[in-house]
């Protein structure tokens, strides 16, 4: 990001000043109802854009466009050509990096330094990675018998509904877009109502890169209307969703109407376990980052820090010191570490949990207060003396609130770590490699970090079980999400 970048007269602010219409069949069009909604800057509470409010009719038009594109130019295109289009799209994203990063920062309240360091590069990396897969998705020859040629092929699922959350709209959006497109699927995306802007902008750039009309459509609007219409639509073949377990359960019910395939990445209440023989400085630093990054609005946030008895007081002290040192402020300031939570509703929910923690008998060591007179900023909160059974230990808060829980030994740590409805991720800190391996083997988590916390890479599978969802994103697992295997049997005894 250039030091001389002019935020007041930037391409991002110019883009936000335009009417944010839907993108259907290669064109930006108003919602069929003519209705719109306001998009707010979480740092100020001010209106930054007017966005089209789609409805069932708009979903019908978008799905029809996606179906035509799937049966026509996209499915029949050479796989290598699809990959080249995705690579051109990646080049355009990089050429517009400053604009997209600023847009994401303003729309989602994300500190621009973190967005430029993590979110944007990860989105581009995902697109390039799956562009490379486009012409490498193959089947197998299976020698069943001598008088037959028997083999498998992997074909695209079809029309995909991609429902994207507000915490990482650009990055998680690309986690769904890139593999689906590489596999030859077409997409109708519903971005979160709170963060619709980056999806609309990158969709424009996809068209510029040569993506045929109808391959990638964006319908903005409320989940209870647009999301429900996609989930229940008879011509949608698959739903990929990231969000809450409650909505995930509703998607499972809706998908039963035509037995849609689904993949769900849902909530988390991840345990970050620190044994007393760990490097406590490194563990405490990573634990703070693991919960306070993106204001705690991360599915895999280490919101439960489990500390062995001898190290407990020291870790609490270190976490509180780090929480107090974090710079809270304008997301467009590159020195800002902690931005706002996404909305007034989310701020109230987080502050309610702080009150719940106090009432349950936990000790609020620091933070947990609204900061400033505008926007949705919350000071990072550290709770000590948290019992495993408390609500702040069991329920996903999705804000900058950490519960520090004491444990006795390995068995106790494992009992507490596995003792929630979630299973997305876990971390463990120790100098004893045997202890690390035993924990990793027994932890109910889709990802286990050892002596680190929070890293992800598109080349590794990502997801969980139980209330953390089903299926995996990333790596080759994502290719399975968007393809169907077909067996072919050719009689040679003719």
Residues recognised as catalytic? 265, 299
The answer to whether 114 and 152 are in contact (CB under 8 A) is no
The answer to whether 337 and 111 are in contact (CB under 8 A) is yes
The answer to whether 405 and 362 are in contact (CB under 8 A) is no
Q: How far is CA 446 from CA 249, 345, 471, in A?
A: 19, 30, 10
Q: Which two tokens stand for residue 466?
A: 């139980």
Give the list of residues 6+ apart from residue 381 with CB closer than 8 angstroms, or none. Answer: 323, 354, 364, 366, 367, 368, 400, 401, 402
Nearest to 238 by CA among 251, 220, 249: 251
Supply φ then ψ for residue 176, to 5 degrees.
Answer: -95, -40
Q: How far is CA 126 from CA 56, 112, 174, 425, 481, in A?
A: 31, 20, 7, 21, 15
Give the list of residues 6+ apart from residue 182 with CB closer than 8 angstroms, or none. Answer: 82, 83, 86, 130, 131, 133, 134, 137, 479
Give the list of residues 6+ apart from residue 181 with CB closer than 8 angstroms, or none. Answer: 82, 86, 130, 187, 211, 215, 216
Count Cβ atoms below 10 Å from residue 10 Cβ, excluding itself: 16
Exposure of 93 by Cβ count < 10 A (0-12 exposed, 13-18 middle, 19+ buried)? buried
């Amino acid at each position: 990001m250039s030091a001389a970048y002019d935020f007041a007269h930037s391409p991002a602010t110019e883009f936000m000043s335009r009417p944010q219409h839907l993108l259907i069949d290669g064109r930006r069009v108003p919602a069929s109802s003519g209705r719109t909604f306001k998009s707010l800057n979480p740092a100020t509470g001010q209106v930054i854009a007017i966005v089209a409010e789609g409805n069932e009719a708009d979903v019908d038009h978008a799905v029809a466009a996606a179906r035509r594109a799937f049966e026509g130019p996209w499915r029949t295109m050479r796989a290598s050509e699809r990959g080249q289009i995705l690579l051109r799209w990646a080049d355009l994203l990089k050429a517009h990096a400053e604009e997209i990063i600023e847009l994401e920062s303003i729309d989602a309240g994300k500190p621009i330094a973190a967005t430029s360091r993590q979110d944007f590069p990860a989105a581009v990396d995902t697109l390039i990675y799956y562009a490379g897969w486009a012409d490498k998705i193959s089947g197998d020859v299976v020698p069943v018998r001598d008088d037959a040629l028997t083999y498998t092929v992997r074909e695209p699922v079809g029309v995909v509904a991609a429902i994207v959350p507000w915490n990482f709209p650009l990055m998680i959006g690309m986690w769904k877009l890139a593999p689906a497109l590489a596999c030859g699927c077409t997409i109708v995306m519903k971005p979160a109502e709170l963060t619709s802007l980056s999806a609309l902008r990158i969709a424009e750039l996809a068209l510029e890169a040569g993506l045929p009309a109808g391959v990638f459509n964006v319908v903005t609007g409320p989940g209870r209307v647009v999301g429900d219409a996609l989930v229940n639509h008879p011509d949608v073949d698959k739903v990929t969703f990231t969000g809450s377990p409650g909505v995930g359960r509703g998607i499972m019910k809706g998908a039963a109407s035509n037995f849609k395939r689904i993949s769900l990445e849902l909530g988390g209440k991840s345990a970050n376990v620190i044994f007393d023989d760990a490097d406590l400085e490194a563990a405490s630093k990573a634990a703070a980052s693991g919960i306070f990054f993106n204001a705690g609005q991360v599915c895999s946030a280490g919101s439960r820090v489990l500390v062995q008895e001898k190290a407990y007081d020291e870790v609490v002290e270190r976490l509180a010191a780090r929480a107090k040192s974090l710079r809270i402020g304008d997301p467009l300031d590159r020195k800002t570490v902690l931005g706002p939570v996404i909305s007034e509703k989310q701020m109230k929910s987080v502050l309610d949990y702080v009150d719940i923690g106090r009432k349950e008998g936990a000790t609020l060591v620091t933070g947990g207060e609204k900061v400033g007179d505008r926007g949705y900023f919350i000071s990072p909160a550290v709770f000590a003396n948290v019992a495993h059974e408390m609500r702040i230990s069991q329920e996903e808060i999705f804000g900058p609130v950490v519960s520090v829980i004491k444990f006795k030994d390995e068995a106790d740590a494992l009992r507490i770590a596995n003792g929630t409805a979630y299973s997305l991720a876990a971390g463990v800190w120790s100098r004893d490699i045997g202890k690390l391996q035993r924990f990793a083997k027994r932890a109910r988590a889709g990802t286990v970090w050892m002596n680190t916390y929070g890293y992800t890479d598109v080349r590794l599978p990502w997801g969980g079980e139980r209330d953390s969802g089903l299926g995996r994103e990333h790596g080759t697992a994502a290719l399975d999400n968007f393809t169907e295997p077909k067996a072919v049997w050719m009689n040679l005894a003719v």
